[in-house]
Amino acid sequence: MKLAIASLVLGSAAAFSPSAFSGTALSAASNGATMDMRYKVAVIGGGPSGACAAEIFAQEKGIDTVLIERKMDNAKPCGGAIPLCMIGEFDIPESTVDRKVRKMKLISPTNVEVDIGDTLQPNEYIGMCRREILDKYLRDRAISYGAEAIQGLVTKIDVPEDHKETESQYTLHYQEFTAGSSAGVPKTMDVDLIVGADGANSRVAKAMDAGEYNFA
């Protein structure tokens, strides 16, 4: 199965793929053994996970990478706090950090309070980012390596019956949006590998029948 789910957990982007495609074709493309073969990868979802996945694929020889995000200027109100280690590990400039927080109190719906920041050193902080700025920076970096960005919404994924035994391609059905238009243009695209970074209600997860999973 050549579909995958990408997740952002504690500031790390990870792609999980049960397919032999990830283990053989990617390595072959990297070592030049199959320079005449090209693969097309679609990363669905342009948040931090999807952008980082697209950046990795875009740097691989023999792979055409497409990043599909439904709203490029999405100002997501949640998920803006990042640990300090993410700045270095993901080579993110501090200019993407909107506010440096050193003390924080979280209160749950049941009034359970948790103080955050007591263990921070004087030179440490919790970075508060505006997602429209952070996400755009990561997407632009993937694009600079050769990824193609499409503003669109994936509506359906055709999974071939023999996809577990063969290298048959998947067909994406999506609506592509252009600036100034609220109506999308229906299009299709055939790809060899799909990485789902489209959140908790992932269409990729439904297409691959992932069932219950503890990452989003």
The pLDDT tens digits for 134-160 are 999 999 999 999 999 999 999 999 988
Task: Give the other-Cβ count within 10 Å of 95's Cβ.
Answer: 8
Instruction: Report pLDDT for 29.
Output: 46
* Largest separation between any pair of C-alpha atoms in the chain: 60
Note the pLDDT of residue 14. Answer: 35
pLDDT at residue 146 in the model? 97
pLDDT at 176: 95
Q: Considering only 59-63, 200-204, 208-212, which range has the smallest mean pLDDT?
A: 208-212
The residue-averaged pLDDT of 77-101 equals 86
* Structure token digits, residue 17: 């793929």
Q: Report the 3 state secondary structure along 92-159.
A: CCHHHEEEEECCEEEECCCCCEEEECCCCCCCCCEEEECHHHHHHHHHHHHHHCCCEEEEEEEEEEEC
* pLDDT number for residue 17: 34
pLDDT tens string 24-78: 344 444 455 555 678 999 999 999 999 999 999 999 999 999 999 998 888 877 7
Confidence of residue 122 (pLDDT cuts 50, 70, 90): confident
Cα distance between residue 113 and residue 133, in whole Å: 30
For the segment 163-200, what is each residue's pLDDT rounded down to a tens digit? Answer: 888 889 999 999 999 877 777 899 999 999 999 999 87
The Cβ of residue 152 has, within 10 Å, a number of other Cβ atoms equal to: 23
Q: What is the enclosing helix (H) or strand (E) of 84?
A: helix 84-89
- CA-to-CA dists, residue 123 to 117, 120, 200, angstroms: 12, 8, 34
Burial 22-61 (b: 16+ CB within 10 A, else e): beebbeebeeeebeeeebbbbbbbbbbbbbbbbbbbbebe
Query: pLDDT-based confidence at 6, cuts 50/70/90?
Result: low
In this prediction, residue 5 carries a pLDDT of 52
**Residue-level pLDDT at 56:** 96
Residue that is written with structure tokens 């997740």 in the block: 7
Backbone angles phi, psi at 105, to 5 degrees: -120, 125
